């Protein structure tokens, strides 16, 4: 069923052409989205830190077509190289969003995209990539309907990004974004991400995320397949309930600045996500031996030093190391001396909380 408020009513499809560029960051979930219903509606709420350095830059060139407007017309380039194999994914995205952007078939699009992180890093580019593209398309809608407010622009861009990839709806703003309707988060919705609206303690300002690249290979199970395996999963309902409770808990933690409680919640979320994968049918494991080595090293180092280092994982083997800014020096030293050996080719990326997408 279409969501009527996102269907534009007063667009005049003019003879326009031009180029628009947006950069949009990746994000890392603290409470994880895992499981969805039809139309990209999440089974549970999630909350993420928006990242800063890991982002996608997308340039969209558009020109009005004269004829043959039955199909979408576009080409995709990654790092200037034409990528026909990316096109089915974009066709699926365009098909899902066409009713909300009725001008899509009226234009030819050249989509040129690049990531600040290496393509084969195991870092998913779908959140940053889909949000950057959704923003570019919204800029065209704005050109056709300049009346649209800033607030509605971002809301609809997040709504469209979600239809490309669920977690992409959390990449437009910063520094924390909630997706999924929750009684404790005013304005929250299953349809789009909202900027976290409450007080956040100084401890979490400029929080750091160093991403250890443990395995840069293609994942053997995609997120989309993984979400699907939550249907009929024996622990699914308990997990969705836990995520709901964890949103309530993290709200109190973010306000009080309780770093120990933050660590316990975030690490438990990461391991629960992977436990869901290990207990689905078919079951699978995305962690690698080095993922576990790193986790154990982090736990010993935390015990020895009392520093507030913690980890989280997304749907892969890489480890995101989270820590407060004022502990950076000792923790980076630890990463360099003890953890780099577990990274593929010694690669890691230093990132931190960011503030969302930007038009270039
Ligand atoms: C484990 O957003 O990549 O990173 O909606 O199928 O595109 P699709 O899935 P995706 O799933 C991300 C899952 C996660 C957790 C999270 O980011 O919340």
Residues 241 and 344 in one domain: yes
Residues 257 and 301 in one domain: yes
d(CA 278, CA 304): 31
In a domain, 125, yes or no: yes
Give the residue-averaged pLDDT of 21-42: 97
* Tens-digit pLDDT profile for residues 53-69: 999 999 999 999 988 78
pLDDT of 182 strictly over 80: yes
Checking DSSP bridges between strand 81-82 and strand 41-42, what pairing results, if any?
A: unpaired
Phi first, then psi, for residue 274 (nearest 5°) are: -70, -30
Residues 56 and 72 in one domain: yes
pLDDT of 1 strictly over 60: no
125 close to ligand 1 (CB < 6 Angstrom): no
Residues 173 and 33 in one domain: yes
Residues 42 and 175 in one domain: yes
Measured CA distances, 341 to 124, 302, 347 (Å):
23, 19, 9
Q: Which of 166, 277, 284 to mutate to test the pocket of ligand 1 (most atoms within 8 A of CB)?
A: 166
Select the more confidently predicted residue: 3 or 274. 274
Domain limit, last residue, from 144, 176, 198: 198
Residues 221 and 311 in one domain: yes
In a domain, 190, yes or no: yes
Of the listed ranges 215-224, 242-251, 308-317, the least confidently predicted one is 215-224
Domain CATH for 235: 3.30.70.890
Name the band, by pLDDT with cuts 50, 70 and 90, for residue 174: very high
Q: How far apart are the first and last CA of the chain?
A: 34
Domain limit, last residue, from 140, 174, 198: 198
In a domain, 357, yes or no: no
Residues 217 and 326 in one domain: yes
In a domain, 26, yes or no: yes
Name the band, by pLDDT with cuts 50, 70 and 90, for residue 120: low
Q: Output the CA 276–ligand 1 centroid distance in Å.
A: 14
Give the residue-averaged pLDDT of 59-85: 93
The number of domains in the chain is: 2
56 close to ligand 1 (CB < 6 Angstrom): no
Domain limit, last residue, from 167, 198, 229: 198
Mean pLDDT score of the chain, rounded to an integer? Answer: 95
Q: What is the pTM of this model?
A: 0.96
* Tens-digit pLDDT profile for residues 160-173: 999 999 999 999 99
Residues 290 and 188 in one domain: no
Residues 70 and 180 in one domain: yes
Give the residue-averaged pLDDT of 63-82: 92
Residues 40 and 67 in one domain: yes
Residues 164 and 256 in one domain: no
Name the band, by pLDDT with cuts 50, 70 and 90, for residue 105: very high
Boundaries of domain holding 274:
202-352
Name the band, by pLDDT with cuts 50, 70 and 90, for residue 220: confident
In a domain, 266, yes or no: yes
In a domain, 323, yes or no: yes
């Amino acid at each position: 069923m279409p969501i009527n408020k996102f269907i534009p009513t007063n667009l005049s499809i003019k003879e326009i052409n031009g180029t628009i560029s947006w950069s949009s960051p990746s994000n890392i979930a603290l409470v994880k989205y895992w499981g969805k219903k039809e139309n990209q509606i999440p089974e549970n709420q999630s909350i993420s830190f928006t990242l800063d350095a890991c982002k996608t830059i997308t340039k969209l060139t558009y020109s009005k077509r004269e004829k043959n407007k039955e199909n979408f017309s576009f080409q995709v380039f990654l790092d200037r190289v034409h990528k026909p194999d990316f096109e089915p994914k974009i066709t699926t995205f365009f098909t899902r969003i066409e009713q909300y952007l009725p001008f899509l078939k009226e234009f030819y699009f050249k989509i040129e995209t690049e990531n600040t992180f290496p393509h084969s890093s195991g870092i998913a580019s779908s959140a940053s990539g889909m949000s950057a593209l959704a923003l570019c398309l919204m800029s065209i809608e704005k050109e056709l309907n300049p009346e649209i407010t800033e607030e509605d622009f971002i809301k609809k861009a997040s709504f469209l990004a979600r239809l490309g990839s669920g977690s992409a709806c959390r990449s437009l703003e910063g520094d924390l974004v909630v997706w999924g309707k929750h009684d404790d988060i005013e304005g929250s919705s299953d349809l789009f991400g909202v900027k976290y609206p409450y007080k956040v303690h100084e401890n979490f300002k400029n929080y750091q995320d160093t991403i250890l690249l443990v395995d840069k290979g293609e994942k053997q199970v995609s997120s989309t397949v993984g979400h699907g395996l939550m249907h009929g999963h024996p622990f699914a309902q308990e997990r969705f309930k836990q995520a709901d409770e964890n949103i309530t808990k993290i709200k109190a933690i973010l306000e009080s600045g309780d770093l120990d409680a933050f660590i316990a919640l975030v690490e438990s979320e990461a391991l629960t996500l992977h436990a869901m994968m290990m207990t689905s049918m078919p079951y699978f494991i995305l962690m690698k031996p080095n993922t576990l080595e790193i986790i154990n090293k982090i736990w010993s180092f935390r015990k020895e030093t009392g520093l507030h280092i913690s980890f989280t994982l997304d749907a892969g083997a890489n480890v995101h190391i989270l820590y407060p800014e004022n502990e950076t020096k000792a923790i980076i030293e630890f990463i360099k001396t003890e953890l780099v050996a577990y990274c593929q080719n010694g690669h890691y990326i230093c990132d931190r909380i960011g503030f969302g997408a930007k038009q270039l």
